[in-house]
Amino acid sequence: MAESKAGADAPSEPLNLAPIAAILVIAGPVLVAISSFLEWAGRNYKPADDPQTFGGFEVPAKFLIDSKSNLDGSGLPLGILVLVVVAIALVGVLAPVPRARLWIWVGGALPVVLVGLYVIQLNDFMDRVNKGPFRGPGGFGVRNTIGFGAVLCGFGGAVTLTGAALGWFAGRRS
């Protein structure tokens, strides 16, 4: 009877975070890659009662720095830029490169930055649309216009950063 009590008081093993970190740093870029194929804007965007949506390969990458380029402008698609960011993260995860952790951190931070820039420019774009001839009752905003692809891209970046942080923490603990 005394042995079972002594066994119960023994400290438990700490949770091994390395496998969880490995799953997160792979799952994050996969989510970001999927986001490039989804809708980035247009969930409730209906100028002149004509519903419009814009996928990751329809929005130009230059929209991130210039909202006057419009959501359907020409140029390198945002989806291609997102896939390049995914490649950066996956190089850090899968390839034996020097400073692999840095590649993972960059590959996780860039989607978050891209989505932040996208939201800022989409807000500016929607402000101009609301002042234009297509203004509906109450106008449109970023909250009711942003698509699931943009949200998933930011979430995937956050998952990658979480995995990188857990991996760093697990490495320091051991």
**Domain annotation covers residue 156:** yes
CA atoms of 89 and 78, how far apart (whole Å): 17
CA atoms of 151 and 160, how far apart (whole Å): 14
DSSP 8-class letter at 64: G
Question: Among candidates 60, 91, 73, 58, which has minimal Cα distance to 160?
Answer: 91
**Domain annotation covers residue 100:** yes
**Domain annotation covers residue 125:** yes
**Domain annotation covers residue 16:** no
Q: What is the pTM of this model?
A: 0.81
What range defines the domain where residue 131 resides?
38-173
**Domain annotation covers residue 75:** yes
**Domain annotation covers residue 165:** yes
**Domain annotation covers residue 18:** no
Structure token digits, residue 11: 């400290």
Concatenated DSSP letters for 122-160? HHHHHHHHHHSTT--TT---STTTB-HHHHHHHHHHHHH
pLDDT of the chain along its 174 residues, tens only?
555 555 556 566 667 778 888 899 999 999 999 999 999 887 666 655 666 778 889 888 998 888 787 777 788 999 999 999 999 999 988 888 888 889 999 999 999 999 999 999 888 887 777 776 555 555 567 777 888 999 999 999 999 999 999 888 877 666
pLDDT value for 110: 95
**Domain annotation covers residue 8:** no
Question: What is the count of structural domains for the chain?
Answer: 1
